Amino acid sequence: RDLTQGEIKEKLSAFGGSLPAGRRGAGGGKNTIPYVIRFKAPLDGETIIEDLIHGAVKFKNSLIDDYVLLKSDGFPTYHLASVVDDYLMEITHIIRGEEWLPSAGLHKLLYQAFGWETPYFAHLPIILAPGGGKLSKRQGDVAVIDYINKGYLPEALVNFILFLGWNPGDEREFFNLEEMIKEFTLDKIGKSGAIFDLKKLEWMNGWYIRKMELGRLTELCVPYLIKAGMIEEIHPVMRPGAPSDDGAKFKVVKTGEEVNFDWLKKVIALEQERMKKLSDVVEATKYFFVDVPEYDALLLKWKKITPEQIKSNLEEIIKILERLETKFPSKSDWEIALKPLTEKLGVGETLWPLRVALSGVKASPSPFEIAEVLGKEKVLKRLKAAIRKVGQ
């Protein structure tokens, strides 16, 4: 045990990486060669860990290496530092990944050598990537902040992680923090690894978004709209925790229009049921933050109707809508106004080109919901732009 690190490695390589039982304790004598301090593990018997998840785990002492505790530079290794640190902090339960289970026998021996009470051990199953194997950076994001930045809610992440290896024993899948604290016990954690299913996380996150109060959801979406260059804060700058009705105003970057928080709430409300992540708000609502949405004229086509029919139908819609007296008709006002035309021309023939003209996309909220938020002036402008597009 007075060899240099290089000599130790050379000696150990001859024995497959660890000292045989008969060689332990060999050596001695003082010298000035840099040295390390190792733990002298017992050669006989076995060390048993009563793991709270895996049950009794037995380690043959003869197979426990004489691990380095203090390196030649005087600094402790993880094995010594973690045991001393946990003791000084009066840790009663050591809960860690199962990759540390092979070290548990050594750690118990260290506690016994110091004359300290051994804490409880619980080694959690590892989190697996969808394709198998331990989840790592190569398979995607592994840091919590990465998921927060992408628009996953903290409450959804905690709820999702709760189910990675744990089960309440019934069909429940959604727990608030108080319920988690009340229900969680280590004995309900499984021994096998749990797969990190991103689709399930998105589904769970979407559930929390749908249940969220609209004002809070809008506050959480605003930073994504700002980062995407869709809006800018003008007065006052929204602050974390500030009330949503504090008079915050924003400028739509591409149009220069000034909008308030209540208008943003109306926009977010239309997509709340469809959003899976907060970041989805950018793509889902982008057509509200432009003068006229960009799209291919072919998108206006419904089944077999001709460009001439599309143009004619849009012109009919404009004639009806121009007669509306209010600047911001309600959803029902739009529906009532266009009902006779839909009965005459057909629902798809009327509402499909209207939807596309207003949103520029195939899938969107109903054209009446979009029109309610846009207002009469913007609706007419987009319909006229669609007619010009058909004629090109």
Reduce the secondary structure of the chain to three states and give it as a string: CCCCHHHHHHHHHCCCCCCCHHHCCCCCCCCCCCCCEECCCCCCCEEEEEECCCEEEEEEHHHCCCCEEECCCCCECHHHHHHHHHHHCCCCEEEEEHHHHHHHHHHHHHHHHHCCCCCEEEEECCEECCCCCECCHHHCCCCHHHHHHCCCCHHHHHHHHHCCCECCCCCCCCCCHHHHHHHCCHHHECCCCEECCHHHHHHHHHHHHHHCCHHHHHHHHHHHHHHCCCEEEEECCCCCCCCCCCCCEEEECCCCCEEEHHHHHHHHHHHCCCCCCCCHHHHHHHHHHCCCCCCCHHHHCCCCCCHHHHHHHHHHHHHHHCCCCCCCCCHHHHHHHHHHHHHHHCHHHHHHHHHHHHHCCCCCCCHHHHHHHHCHHHHHHHHHHHHHHHHC
137 flagged as catalytic = yes
Decide: 117 and 90 in contact? Cβ < 8 Å: no
Decide: 280 and 151 in contact? Cβ < 8 Å: yes
**From 30, 58, 137, 199, the catalytic residue:** 137
Amino acid found at 62: S
CA-to-CA separations, 150 to 284, 328, 334, in angstroms, rounded: 15, 34, 36
Amino acid found at 263: W
Q: Catalytic residues, which ones? A: 137
